[in-house]
């Protein structure tokens, strides 16, 4: 019988790549997915060079058909999917009244509908086996209002609550569903919001004018910090944890 496998979306970079690498380092066969074939190839090549068993599957998580094809490919080539990490995401910033329809729709489609489509496809496989673990990478913005981040925060809140509802429905089948809520993390997404070192300092210091607290631990998270939280929730060490949000933000939301 084939070993159990994991699927990680958004694995072309940032948190998704870090999660895939962390799983591979533990010997887990990993199907990595991303909408950008070029960055996905970089991830797959790096993992393969390190000796991992890896399957790259270019995927647009907004498409239910592609979501199912991703899970099907993982099961066919790597083994039963026992772990899923939803790390695919996009960010559009701007005042709510000035966001375009396209910006709003893309945030909802990728960050929320994508989580629904891939989680549903994975759960369909997990339910008959009565085991599995799903982790969604959301954001601390899902529970704390942020100026200029209405679309992103709303989409992440939807993803987080969907994941918890799914966890409630699947609990009696032995499937756990949890959420990791990162704060500012050193990824291309965050760096796209910075234009100078002053912006990085402002992330640490906070901005009273924007009603934003800084980071008490005085550092921006690394993708590995977030990946470690995801691996914990996937693991047997979290066997009695489901429908939980693990916040990884250095105290930026003051533990609320």
Whose tokens are 């916040």? That residue is: 247
Q: Model confidence at 195, in pLDDT bands (50, 70, 90)? A: low
Q: Is 210 part of a structural domain of the chain?
A: no
Which residue has 């939807």 as its token pair?
158
As annotated, the active-site residues are 152
Confidence (pLDDT) at 1? 46
Would you state the pLDDT for residue 194?
A: 60
Residue 88 is assigned to a structural domain of this protein:
yes
Between CA 38 and CA 49 the distance in angstroms is: 17
CB atoms within 10 A of CB 92: 18
The single residue listed with the structure tokens 């393969």 is 48
Quote the CA–CA distance of 162 and 159 in Å, as a whole number: 5
What's the domain range around 152? 5-187+222-247
pLDDT at 147 over 90: yes
Token digits of residue 164: 């918890």
* Domains of the chain: total: 1
Mean pLDDT lowest among 9-13, 148-152, 165-169, 215-219: 215-219
Q: What is the dihedral of CA 247, 249, 250, 255, to 10 degrees?
A: -50
Q: Is 192 within the bounds of a domain? A: no
Q: Cβ(46)–Cβ(98) under 8 Å?
A: no
Whether the pLDDT of residue 200 is over 80: the answer is: no
Q: Is the dihedral of CA 15, 19, 20, 21 positive or negative?
A: positive
Candidates 182, 215, 203; CA nearest to 87 is 182
| Domain contains 113 | yes
Residue 11 within any structural domain of the chain: yes
CATH no. for residue 39?
3.40.50.720
In a domain, 79, yes or no: yes
User: Can you read off the two tokens belonging to residue 56?
Assistant: 């790259």
3-class SS of residue 23: helix
Q: Is residue 51 part of a domain?
A: yes
Question: Residue 211 — pLDDT band, cuts 50, 70, 90?
Answer: confident
**CA 210, CA 31: separation in Å to the nearest integer?**
40
Say if 92 falls within a structural domain: yes
- Over pLDDT 90: what percentage of the chain? 86
Give the Å distances, CA to CA, from 146 to 74, 140, 176.
37, 10, 29
- pLDDT: which is higher, 197 or 142: 142
């Amino acid at each position: 019988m084939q070993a159990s496998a994991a699927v990680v979306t958004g694995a072309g970079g940032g948190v998704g790549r870090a999660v895939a690498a962390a799983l591979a380092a533990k010997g887990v066969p990993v199907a990595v997915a991303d909408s950008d074939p070029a960055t996905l190839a970089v991830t797959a090549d790096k993992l393969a060079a390190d000796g991992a068993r890896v399957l790259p599957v270019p995927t647009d998580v907004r498409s239910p058909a592609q979501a199912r094809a991703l899970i099907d490919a993982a099961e066919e080539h790597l083994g039963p999917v026992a772990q899923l990490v939803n790390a695919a995401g996009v960010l559009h910033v701007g005042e709510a009244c000035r966001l375009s329809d396209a910006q709003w729709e893309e945030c909802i489609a990728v960050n929320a509908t994508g989580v629904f489509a891939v989680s549903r496809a994975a759960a369909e496989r997990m339910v008959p086996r009565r085991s599995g673990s799903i982790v969604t990478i959301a954001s601390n913005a899902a529970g704390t209002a942020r100026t200029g981040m209405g679309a992103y925060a709303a989409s992440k809140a939807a993803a987080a609550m969907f994941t918890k509802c799914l966890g409630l429905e699947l609990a009696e089948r032995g499937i756990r569903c949890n959420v990791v809520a990162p704060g500012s993390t050193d990824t291309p997404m965050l760096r796209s919001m910075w234009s100078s070192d002053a912006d990085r300092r402002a992330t640490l210091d906070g901005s009273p004018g924007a009603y934003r607290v800084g980071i008490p631990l005085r550092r921006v998270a690394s993708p590995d910090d977030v990946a470690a939280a995801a691996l914990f929730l996937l693991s047997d060490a979290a066997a009695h944890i489901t429908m939980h949000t693990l916040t990884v933000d250095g105290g930026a939301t003051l533990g609320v």
